[in-house]
Amino acid sequence: MTGPIAGARSLLFVPGHRPDRFAKAAASGCDLVVLDLEDAVGPDSKAAAREHVRSWLDAGHAAVVRINAPGTPWFDADLAAVAGRAVAVMVPKAEDRAVLDALADRGVGPVIPLIETALGVTRAVEVCGADSVVRPAFGSIDLAVQLGVDHRSHEALRHARSAVVLAAAAAGCAAPVDGVTTALDDPAALRADVAHAIELGLTGKLCIHPRQVAAVNDAFLPGEAETRWAREALASVTDGSVGVHNGQMVDRPVILRAEAILARARRTGSPHDPAHDRSPG
């Protein structure tokens, strides 16, 4: 499942104490359902939520599970409930690589560290370097609270987002998932947030309502102009090393970028995937 985790565009949170919403989330078109045992669930509902999540997973359904943070009273029980069952475990307040490395000894498979504290951002390369980490997620709201800035401000969190993008690349894991957009009835705000995330190199987004899923999925698809550029750039390389496209040199780094765009189009089923241009036979 590391491929689907790495390539997921939309990850939809569902409160763990609301099992009536699990199937609806799975049918929303999101790439991954995230059953939430942390922020969406109050202390008095933690145990019940954990059992609902365990039952859903044991019934054969696939989901990521956001557990409660290391050091909380619920961390160990959450791990015991989801280890070996969840597609991946999302670990909030991720700051310590040693904590993530220790999860493998407890039967936890792929990990998505949620980097949402100042310490987590400054240690992001170490966090992303844990063997079990597939890709990080960026927690904009918690970090903004700690920093005393508006979580809706692109500029205030630009450095932190970029730091997580750089850390993921340096560690060799998949590019990060961006944090949530809290405005549920403002499509323009969602579009602006996704465009900003894409500009900085994030390749997916956490969603908090099914109505956000389609817009997020569409936004992270390579567009027609982008895929056309990639095809033409690769076609310009006639000797296997370098070419020129629209007056711009196409060398090895540019070739790699073009190949990555076309690979993303194939992986996400973009209508601009070059495979769609081929005639039958």
Quick one: CA torsion of 71, 53, 11, 37, rounded to 10 degrees?
-30
- If pLDDT is split at 50, 70 and 90, which confidence band does 280 have? very low
pLDDT in tens, 244-270: 877 787 777 777 777 777 776 776 555
> According to the model, what pLDDT value does residue 268 have?
59
Task: Please state the rounded mean pLDDT for residues 37-53.
Answer: 97
Half-sphere exposure of residue 203: CA atoms within 13 angstroms, side-chain side: 22
Residue 241 has pLDDT above 80, yes or no: no
Task: Please state the rounded mean pLDDT for residues 51-58.
Answer: 97
Whether 233 contacts 254, CB under 8 Å: yes
> According to the model, what pLDDT value does residue 109 have?
87
What are the start-end ranges of the E strands in the chain? 10-15, 32-36, 64-66, 88-91, 111-115, 137-138, 177-178, 204-207, 243-245, 248-250
Which conformational region is residue 60 in: left (phi greater than 0), alpha (psi within -120 to 50 degrees), or beta?
left
d(CA 15, CA 22): 8
Whether 135 contacts 112, CB under 8 Å: yes
Whether 37 contacts 80, CB under 8 Å: no
d(CA 119, CA 157): 14
Q: List all residues 6 or more positions away from 270 whose beta carbon is below 8 Å from its beta carbon.
A: 221, 222, 227, 264
Q: Which fold has domain 2-219?
A: TIM Barrel (3.20.20)
* Domain layout of the chain by residue ranges: 2-219, 224-277
pLDDT in tens, 188-205: 999 999 999 999 999 999
d(CA 35, CA 134): 18
> According to the model, what pLDDT value does residue 263 have?
73
- If pLDDT is split at 50, 70 and 90, which confidence band does 223 have? low
Q: What is the percent of the chain where pLDDT is above 90?
A: 75
Measured CA distances, 215 to 81, 188, 194, 278 (Å): 33, 10, 9, 27
d(CA 162, CA 233): 27
* 10: Cα separation from own chain's centroid: 7
d(CA 138, CA 141): 9
Q: What is the percent of the chain where pLDDT is above 70?
A: 91
**Hey, what amino acid is at 121?**
V
**DSSP conformational letter for 279:** P
* 264: Cα separation from own chain's centroid: 14
Q: How many CB atoms lie within 10 A of CB 280?
A: 3
Q: Identify the residue whose tokens are 């997020």.
A: 216
Residue 54 has pLDDT above 70, yes or no: yes
Residue 48 has pLDDT above 90, yes or no: yes
